[in-house]
C-alpha cells in the first residue's frame, strides 16, 4: 500500500500544472481581459489605465535598469522609469501586440498567464521589433476584479541591443 501511495504521489507531482488546474473559460477570459487592458492602456499612453489594472503592491522585471521594481505603486514607478528610459535612448511609437496565451492557470483568486508578445517601435528613426517575446503575468482577484501583482518580460535575441 505504501508503495502504491508513493507512486501515486510522485505521478501527481510530475503532472503538468495545466493538467492539475484547468481554468474555467469565463474566468480565463476575465483574467486575459485584465492583461489585455494593461497592454492596450500602455499602447495608448494611458498611465492611469495601466495603473488601474495593477494591484497596489506588485513586482515587475523588465529589460532596462534597474531591471526590477517592487512594493507599493510599482506600476506607476515603472511607467515613469520606462518613459525616462525611452526618451534617453530615442525609442518612440512602441506598440505591444499579445498573441494567444500559452497558459492561463487559475487557482481560486490567483492566476498565472504566459503569453507570447510582439513589440514594435522606432529607435532613433529606425524601425525595430522584439518578435515572439514572452510576457508572464501573475494576478490576484480583488473586489474590483483581477489585478496584476507581478509580471516579467523576456525578449528574444536581437541583432542589436539598445
- Please report the pLDDT score of residue 157 as a whole number: 73
The pLDDT tens digits of the residues spanning 94-120 come to 999 999 999 999 999 999 999 999 999
CATH number of 25-154: 3.10.450.50
Asked if 102 contacts 133 with a C-beta cutoff of 8 angstroms, the reply is no
pLDDT at 13: 41
Lowest mean pLDDT, pick from 11-15, 88-92, 105-109, 156-160? 11-15
Q: How many CA atoms lie within 13 A of 25 on its CB side?
A: 0
Domain range annotation of the chain: 25-154
Residue 160 has pLDDT above 60, yes or no: no
Please, what is the average pLDDT of the chain?
88
Terminal-residue alpha carbon distance, the chain = 60
Element (H, E) at 142: strand 126-142
Amino acid at each position: 500500500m505504501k508503495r502504491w501511495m508513493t507512486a501515486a504521489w510522485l505521478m501527481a507531482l510530475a503532472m503538468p500544472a495545466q493538467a492539475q488546474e484547468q481554468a474555467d473559460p469565463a474566468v480565463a477570459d476575465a483574467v486575459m481581459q485584465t492583461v489585455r487592458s494593461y497592454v492596450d492602456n500602455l499602447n495608448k499612453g494611458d498611465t492611469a489605465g495601466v495603473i488601474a489594472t495593477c494591484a497596489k503592491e506588485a513586482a515587475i522585471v523588465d529589460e532596462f535598469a534597474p531591471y526590477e521594481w517592487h512594493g507599493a505603486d510599482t506600476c506607476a514607478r515603472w511607467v515613469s522609469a520606462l518613459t525616462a528610459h525611452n526618451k534617453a535612448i530615442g525609442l518612440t511609437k512602441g506598440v505591444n501586440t499579445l498573441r494567444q496565451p500559452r497558459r492561463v492557470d487559475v487557482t481560486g483568486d490567483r492566476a498565472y498567464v504566459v503569453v507570447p508578445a510582439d513589440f514594435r517601435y522606432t529607435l532613433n528613426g529606425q524601425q525595430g521589433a522584439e518578435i515572439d517575446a514572452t510576457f508572464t503575468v501573475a494576478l490576484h482577484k480583488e473586489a474590483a476584479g483581477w489585478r496584476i501583482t507581478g509580471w516579467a518580460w523576456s525578449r528574444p535575441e536581437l541583432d542589436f541591443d539598445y
